[in-house]
Structures are given as structure tokens and as C-alpha cells.
Structure 1
């Protein structure tokens, strides 16, 4: 962490307190990011970015204010930003802002990096994956986008908390596109996590993934369409991770439950349903920022709250929401460590860290074997969800018929749809497998913030409608 930037954060908190602020916190952040885009063995671009700055939140006269400063060169710049921020909210609010008490910490955390990422190395990996994809028959386009970021975040508040967290993220995104007889099909995948190059290099993982997506894209040019029907669906963990994200994770964010995001991002289908049954007894859901190497792994959030695993749904009963220090007071609960911002430029929002459906005790082959007629739904694609996350429609990258317990025809352009309560009450099996998938582009807020995180779960079985996208 740049010591000057850290010093400015400390001075900002002291200065805001002297102006009469009830509360202030500051985040000093710096990020170095390097990425490369490769298409059909050609380098389209190589980008490097070095970003640093301050984000400062203040409560004065029971009103929040916020300002950010990119790469400040003097504390005078910071003072001007703070003064303007307070001036722009120079009104009194009779409703007192109450923050849940927080234990003060002074700590430095270095998240492990076993193999430090370098630009030359990710270019080499990207070219290798690009070549593997193009070796498959029918492939007409291969896009590979590896990138990494090295991050340092320093948090300080007027209550005495000081936290420094240093971490690295390594990601690779790949798309394989096949064409045959007028039919074009694409399969994509994202791999990576919090840590070094080991996140994509272990056991030739990324090379095998490149081969798998190119093979599947090629096969899909000859796949069949699906006929619309309501049927038994078996969803693989990759598809389940997006389902969890959209219909269980977002409605669990307390600001959505309170309707504070209705104008631009929607609410929650289970508002006022705490303690009620919203799914089958097989359904258990949690959010856990402590899952190591997930993109949602962190020990303290952007309010300085220490993270923990939070049970959201237990045996089908809604137990909790994700809370910040302010909403926790409203719900008579405790903050869950889910307050996060994309970077210093933004106010923190309540965000998922790593929301998952918990695994069960069923063997995956037995889950499939028990299906007389249904569909195996594989890998996330595009979601379409209503404002309250109640009606949902999610396309998968491919599906397969299940007939008398056997996987048969490969199917293309399949959409799965239903309503949240009906589907979650239909779940009758959760596999003993469990996978956390990386999510790199979750949007929320106004102005919009794009966030990285993890989502996951096991293979699950339930009832939904399948139909063709065409």
C-alpha cells in the first residue's frame, strides 16, 4: 500500500471528525491489473492499468455523504472533496442513522499467492488454450481473455478500526465458436480465483477446460432443439451457481428486501417472509466469504466488519438476509460482512460474497438414474429475471435428455423457466458434489457497480419448464 495514500486516509477520518461528523470511514485502495485478449492465435490487445485513490463516507447531521479522489497528490485535495461532499448534503435528517456496534480491529492480512502472475506467463497460457480450441473440428473462432489484478485495500474509521488487506485475483475467460451447415454454436467458460497462477494451472485444469468447451461447441452444431414442456430437470453445479446468484443471492441482500433498490435493480420475492417456508426441506442456502480461493473470499468487508458464514435458508425456511451495519439495526440482526464496493470510487453496497446451495447426500448418478423422463441442464448462460426475482428464465449452454435413467440426446438453445417458490419447493435431491464458480460481472447500484464474487452449489433435481430459445 502506498504510504502517502494510507496517510491521507487517516488524515481524512480525523479531519471529518473535526468538522463535527458523527462517523467517518476511508478506504485507500490501489490496483494493478494486466490483461490480454487473444482471438484465433492473434493478440488483439495487451492492457495494463494502475489505479489508486480514496473513498470517504461520512455521517453528519444524520445524513450520509460520500466522495472519492483519484490519486490525490496533496491532503488539500482531500479536504476540498470532504468539504464539498458535506456541503452538498447540508440538511438535517430527524431520523437518526444507527450503526450496529462493531468490534474494532487493527490487522494486516496477506492472502496467499503460491505462483506470482506475470504478463508473459498469462499470454503464454492464453496462446496455448487458443491453439487447443482451434484444433477441434468445426471451430471457427477462439477467444481467450486471461487477466490478473494485484490489490491492496486499507480501511480506517473514526471508531478506531484499521485493516489492510492485500490480495491477487487470476482469471481466464474463454469462448469457443463452431459452425457447420449454417448452424453456429458457442460455449464459454470462466475459471480462476483469489490467489496466484495456481488458480488456473493446477493439474492442467485450464487446458482440459479449453478442450472441453471446443468439443462441446462442435457437437452442438448437430444437436437437437427441445420441445416445450414442464418436466423434471437435473441441473449441474455450474448452472446452479447462476440460479443461486439470481434467485437466492440477490433477494437476500437486505437493501433489496427493504425496497431501497426498487427503482433500478428490483426487490426481493420473499420480503416479510423471514421464518416462513420458501422451499423444500432439501434446500439449504448460505453466503460464505471465508471460502478460501473463491473470488468472494475476504476477511473484512468495506465497513470493517469481520466475515462469517451466514445461513440464509435452512431446510427450506428463510432464516436471514445479508446485512450491513445499518440494516442490521432495522432487522434486529447482526451485520454479515457483505458491504462491498467495486473500488474506492463507489459507496459500498450489500453484495453477495459466495452464495451457495449446500450439498446434500445423493450420488449424482443416482439423481439421474431415478429420472424416468427429464433433462440434464448444464452450464450457465443468460438470465432474465423480474423485478422481485420471482419469475425467472435462464438459458443453459447445453442440455441432454434423460430417458429411463439414461442420458441420451444432446440439445441446443435450451431455456429453463419457472417461478421461484414453485421451483424451490420442487427440489427433491441435492448431490454430494459441490462446486464454487467464479462470477466476474455482477451488476448492482446506481451508478452501476460491477463486482466479482463466487457462487456455487451441487447437482440438484427439481421441476421446471424447458423450451427452445428459437
Structure 2
């Protein structure tokens, strides 16, 4: 982190307190992003960008004030912004803001990067994957977008905390498009995590993923449609991660539970149900920012709260919500370390870090073998959810029939539908194949903030309605 930016952040705290604010925190942030876009083995563009600035949050007259400064050249710029934020703090708020008391933390954390990324390496990997995809029959287009960001975040507040976190995020987006006999099908994947090139070159090699998506896109050309029916569904971990994100993660955010997000992003289907049964005993849900290498891995949130694993649902019983320092006071509980902003330009919001359905003890193959008639649902696509996350439909990238415990015909353009309480009550098996998947485009707030995070879970089995859209 630039020492000048950190010094300006510290001076901002001191100046705000001299103006009589009750509380102030400042986030100094710097991000360098490098990206390569490759279409059909042609490098379309190479992009590099740098963004740096301060986000300043304060409480004056019992209300929040906020301002941000991009690439400040002098402290006068910051003073003017703080003056404006203090002046515009509401003097007519009926209920004064109260925040949960926080411990003081002074720490610097450098997240591990085992293999440092570079533009040259991105091009090499991207071109290799593009070639693999285009070598597959019926493929007419491949789009490969590897990118990484190097991030520095410095948090300081009027209570004495000074926290620096430095980390790299490595991502690759890949899309394979097949066409034949007037039919077009595509399969995409996003891979990566918090760390260096090892996030896409180690473990399961990205070249193997490129081969998988191109083969499946090609196979989908001759796949059949699914008839509409309520049936047994077995969902793979990638699909489960989006289901968890939309129907379990977002409703866990306390601002949604309180109705503060209803105007633009929705509420929570389980409002007022803490301590009640909301799913089967096989359903265990948690949020965990401490899962290493996940895109939701961090040690302190944007309020300076130390992260921890939070149990949200235990054996089907709703236990907790995700809390910030303000909502924790309202719910008479503790903050969970889930307050985050896209960058310094925005006020932080309560956000999932890595919300997951917990691992089970069943072999996924055994879960499938027990199904006489059903459908295997694979890989996330597009969600459509009501305001309370109660009624939901999520399309998958492909599906397969299960007949007498065997996977048979491939199905395309399949949507899975249900209601939250009915579906989660129907879960009767969870696999032992727990997987965390990267999410890079979660939107929330007004103005809208896009956030990266992890979501995950194992193979699960339940009852839902499926159909193909054709």
C-alpha cells in the first residue's frame, strides 16, 4: 500500500474527530488489474488499469455520512469531502445509530501468492485453452478471458484500529459455443481463487476444464428437451453453489431481513424465523471468510471486524443471520465480519463471504444409484428469484436423466423451479464432495455494487420441478 495514501487516511480520521463526529473510519485502497480477452485464438485486447483512493465513513448527529476521494493529491481535497459529509449528516433521524463495540486491531497481512501472474502468462494459458476448445467438433467460437487483480486495503478508524491486507485474485472465464443443424449451444465456466497463477494451473488444470466445456457444448446439440414435471433432482456442487448464494446466502444478510433492501434487491423468506425449522435435518448452512484461497477469504471486514465461521442453519434449524456493527445492536448479537464494499467509492454493505451448504457423508455415485427416476442437474446458469427469495427458478447448463440409478440421456435448456421451504425440506442426501466455486458478479445495493465471493456445497438430492424452455 502507498504510504502516502495511508498517511492521508490517518489524517482524515484526526480531522473528522476534530469536527465532533461520533465515529469515523477510512479505507485506503489500491487495485491493479490486468486482463486479456481472446476470441477464437485472436487476442482482442489487453487491458491494464489502476485505481486508488479513500472511502470515508462517519457518524454525526446520529446518522451515517460518507464520501470518497479518488487519487487524492492533497489533504485539502479530503478535508473538503469530510466537511461536506459532516454538513449533510441528517439532523432529523428518529432513531440514532448505535454500533456494537469493537476490539482494536493493528495488523498487516500478506496473502500467499505461490506463482506470480503476468500478462505474458495469461496470453499463453488463454491461447492454449482457446485451441483446445476449437479443436472440438461443432465448436464455432471460443472466448477466453483470464484476468487478475493485485489489491491493497488499509483500514483505520477512530477507535484505534490499523489493518492492512494485501492479496491477489486470479480468475479465468471460458465459454465454448457449438453450432450445427441450426442449433446453437454454449457451456461456460469461471475458475480461480485468491492467490496467484496456481489458482488456475494447479489442482485440476484449466486445460482439462477447457476440454470438458467444449465437449459438453458439442454434445448438447443433439440433446433432448425435458418435459415439465416434479421429480427427484440431484444437483452437482457447481449448481448448488448458485442455489446457496441466491436462496440461503442473500436472505441471511441482516439488512435484507430488516427490510432495508426491499426497494431494490429484496428481503428474506425466513424473516422472524430464528430458532424455527426451515429445512430438513440434512440441511446445514454456514458462511466462512476463513476458507483459504476462496474469493471470499479475508481476515478483517470493512468495519475492522475479525472474520469467523458463522453457522446459519443447523440440522434444518435457522440459527443466525449475517450482521454488521449496526444490525448486531438491533438483533442483540455480535457482528459476523461480513461488512464489505466493492471498493473505496462505496459504503460497505452486509455481504456473503463464502456461504455454503455443509458437507454430507454420502458418496455422490450412491446418491444417484438410489434414484429410480429423476434428473441430474449440472452447473449454474441464470437465476430468477422473487423479492423474498421464496419462489425461485434457476437454469442449468445441462442436465441428464436418471433411470434406475443410471445416468442416461442428455437434456438441454433446463430450468429448475421450486419454493424455498418446500425444496429445502425435501433434501434427503448430501454428498461428501464439498466444493467451493468462484462468484465474480454478485450485485447488491443502490448504487449497485458488484462483489466477488465464494459459494459452495456438495452434491444434494431433493424434489423440484424441471422443464426445458424451447
Question: Scaled by the length of structure 2, what TM-score is found?
Answer: 0.99
Provide the rounded CA distance (Å) in 2 between the counterparts of 1:413 and 1:21.
55
Aligned partner of 1:417 in structure 2 is: 417
Using the TM superposition, give the Cα deviation of residue 92 of structure 1 relative to its aligned residue in structure 2, in angstroms.
4.3
Change (3 A) 1:284 1:204: closer
Using the TM superposition, give the Cα deviation of residue 415 of structure 1 relative to its aligned residue in structure 2, in angstroms.
0.3
2:466 equivalent to 1:466: yes
Change (3 A) 1:229 1:90: closer
SS at match of 1:66: strand
Using the TM superposition, give the Cα deviation of residue 43 of structure 1 relative to its aligned residue in structure 2, in angstroms.
1.0
Provide the rounded CA distance (Å) in 2 between the counterparts of 1:43 and 1:91.
55
2:357 equivalent to 1:323: no
Provide the rounded CA distance (Å) in 2 between the counterparts of 1:156 and 1:93.
26
2:458 equivalent to 1:452: no
Aligned partner of 1:96 in structure 2 is: 96
Using the TM superposition, give the Cα deviation of residue 94 of structure 1 relative to its aligned residue in structure 2, in angstroms.
4.4
Provide the rounded CA distance (Å) in 2 between the counterparts of 1:203 and 1:190.
15
Provide the rounded CA distance (Å) in 2 between the counterparts of 1:295 and 1:247.
20
Using the TM superposition, give the Cα deviation of residue 188 of structure 1 relative to its aligned residue in structure 2, in angstroms.
0.3
Provide the rounded CA distance (Å) in 2 between the counterparts of 1:206 and 1:405.
31
Provide the rounded CA distance (Å) in 1 between the counterparts of 2:95 and 2:345.
27
Deviation larger for 125-134 or 85-94? 85-94
Provide the rounded CA distance (Å) in 2 between the counterparts of 1:234 and 1:323.
32
Change (3 A) 1:192 1:21: same
Task: Work out whether residues 226 and 414 of structure 2, in 8 Å CA contact, stay in contact via their aligned partners in 1.
Answer: yes
Matches within 5 A, 1:184-223: 184-203=184-203, 205-223=205-223
Provide the rounded CA distance (Å) in 2 between the counterparts of 1:44 and 1:265.
35
Task: Work out whether residues 62 and 94 of structure 1, in 8 Å CA contact, stay in contact via their aligned partners in 2.
Answer: no
C-alpha distance after superposition, 1:188-245 (max 9, x if no partner): 0000000000000015610000000000000000100000000000000000000000
Where do 5+ consecutive residues of structure 2 fail to align? none
C-alpha distance after superposition, 1:423-443 (max 9, x if no partner): 000000000111000000000
Provide the rounded CA distance (Å) in 2 between the counterparts of 1:121 and 1:292.
24
Provide the rounded CA distance (Å) in 2 between the counterparts of 1:457 and 1:264.
28
Task: Work out whether residues 426 and 462 of structure 1, in 8 Å CA contact, stay in contact via their aligned partners in 2.
Answer: yes
2:164 equivalent to 1:164: yes
Using the TM superposition, give the Cα deviation of residue 130 of structure 1 relative to its aligned residue in structure 2, in angstroms.
0.6
Aligned partner of 2:110 in structure 1 is: 110
Provide the rounded CA distance (Å) in 1 between the counterparts of 2:389 and 2:204.
38
Provide the rounded CA distance (Å) in 2 between the counterparts of 1:8 and 1:123.
38
SS at match of 1:335: coil
Task: Work out whether residues 33 and 48 of structure 1, in 8 Å CA contact, stay in contact via their aligned partners in 2.
Answer: yes
C-alpha distance after superposition, 1:324-362 (max 9, x if no partner): 000001111110000000000000000000000001111
2:45 equivalent to 1:80: no
2:137 equivalent to 1:137: yes
Task: Work out whether residues 27 and 55 of structure 2, in 8 Å CA contact, stay in contact via their aligned partners in 1.
Answer: yes
Task: Work out whether residues 36 and 123 of structure 1, in 8 Å CA contact, stay in contact via their aligned partners in 2.
Answer: yes
Using the TM superposition, give the Cα deviation of residue 89 of structure 1 relative to its aligned residue in structure 2, in angstroms.
2.3
2:245 equivalent to 1:245: yes
C-alpha distance after superposition, 1:57-78 (max 9, x if no partner): 0100101010000000000000
SS at match of 2:202: helix
Using the TM superposition, give the Cα deviation of residue 97 of structure 1 relative to its aligned residue in structure 2, in angstroms.
1.2
Provide the rounded CA distance (Å) in 1 between the counterparts of 2:84 and 2:469.
51
Aligned partner of 2:386 in structure 1 is: 386
Task: Work out whether residues 256 and 262 of structure 1, in 8 Å CA contact, stay in contact via their aligned partners in 2.
Answer: yes
SS at match of 1:129: helix
Provide the rounded CA distance (Å) in 1 between the counterparts of 2:346 and 2:72.
16
Aligned partner of 2:50 in structure 1 is: 50
Q: Aligned residue pairs: how many?
A: 470
2:395 equivalent to 1:400: no
Provide the rounded CA distance (Å) in 2 between the counterparts of 1:130 and 1:382.
24
Aligned partner of 1:348 in structure 2 is: 348
After the TM superposition, which segments of 4 or more aligned residues of structure 1 sit over 6 Å from their partners?
A: none
Using the TM superposition, give the Cα deviation of residue 126 of structure 1 relative to its aligned residue in structure 2, in angstroms.
0.5
Provide the rounded CA distance (Å) in 1 between the counterparts of 2:321 and 2:203.
37
Task: Work out whether residues 296 and 453 of structure 2, in 8 Å CA contact, stay in contact via their aligned partners in 1.
Answer: yes
SS at match of 2:160: coil
Deviation larger for 105-114 or 203-212? 203-212
Using the TM superposition, give the Cα deviation of residue 90 of structure 1 relative to its aligned residue in structure 2, in angstroms.
4.8
Aligned partner of 2:34 in structure 1 is: 34
Using the TM superposition, give the Cα deviation of residue 93 of structure 1 relative to its aligned residue in structure 2, in angstroms.
2.9
Provide the rounded CA distance (Å) in 2 between the counterparts of 1:52 and 1:117.
21
Provide the rounded CA distance (Å) in 1 between the counterparts of 2:465 and 2:2.
54
Provide the rounded CA distance (Å) in 2 between the counterparts of 1:295 and 1:469.
32
Provide the rounded CA distance (Å) in 2 between the counterparts of 1:407 and 1:266.
37
2:177 equivalent to 1:177: yes
Task: Work out whether residues 61 and 89 of structure 2, in 8 Å CA contact, stay in contact via their aligned partners in 1.
Answer: no
Task: Work out whether residues 170 and 196 of structure 1, in 8 Å CA contact, stay in contact via their aligned partners in 2.
Answer: yes
Question: Scaled by the length of structure 1, what TM-score is found?
Answer: 0.99
Provide the rounded CA distance (Å) in 2 between the counterparts of 1:339 and 1:90.
22
CA RMSD of aligned residues (A): 0.7
2:445 equivalent to 1:442: no
Where do 5+ consecutive residues of structure 1 fail to align? none
